[in-house]
Structure 1
């Protein structure tokens, strides 16, 4: 059974809690979490490593060495004497020309090699050889190709002189996958970033 002597401290504690609002309790809770985290070495931080790559300079992502050379916006894409991507009302095509060399020991996909940023209404069209316009999906080990990476974008999205931002994600070679065997895995934090102006196109 509690006594008046026991009730007095509890009354003081309740009054102290009542005098402090939810905001103070929220701050105290955060402080307690940080204090506990500090005991275990602190909170993890994201280690984002970005390499700025000038146009025309090679960048190795582990699997490929990529040299981005130019970017152009055109109403349609032609190659090998045929139309590869036809004109569409309200749309244009952004083509980024790059030389790509496979530095690895396995063929690997080109579809996601260049990551176009800052264009929310874009659609990736594909990768084509500059020499003849033929489509290419993968590049074999030791091979080098000059390629055009093509996206469909809104007609008003880009004009000559506007900057285009591209990311090339670093990769690590992984083995032992049951389904895929061996493959390159993109980093979540490390990439090369190229900002290149759009040139004039016809």
Structure 2
């Protein structure tokens, strides 16, 4: 019985030691990753601010280890979202492909296809946003005209006033339509982002 208890104590102490070792490894890896990101940031900042082009970015990372190339690509993708402009998308596309070209296990064509799909989703999202804005403007214009005819607004009424005077059902319908659109495109973006990360050999 005593032996069993001693065994339990030994096992418990071993497990605790292993947990501490794992924590130390995680802390070390986290510290290394932080340091790497801090080293990468200035290079990417110069590129995004127009100080260097994609060819010069290629030169900046020439000779870098694959883990560093992947981390830089991941940071670039992190800065890309549904609200990105076409110019921002293209700039990030060039950067990602320049870094992909440096990898030993380069998959440039696969990355290009994934980036094309990401660009397509963002463009569709921006188009849908513009369509909704146009529809909202039309609704507010009609609302103002109706209220002016009823003498509820004068000719100097502003758009915000028209929005405030919209009936509750109209506001709910607009909010519901926007939410549905956002959810649909977010799902598409999450899917295409996952495909992009896979194409680049990055963790999701």
Q: TM-score higher than 0.5 here?
A: no
Higher-strand-fraction structure: 1
TM-score, with structure 2 as normaliser: 0.23
TM-score, with structure 1 as normaliser: 0.24
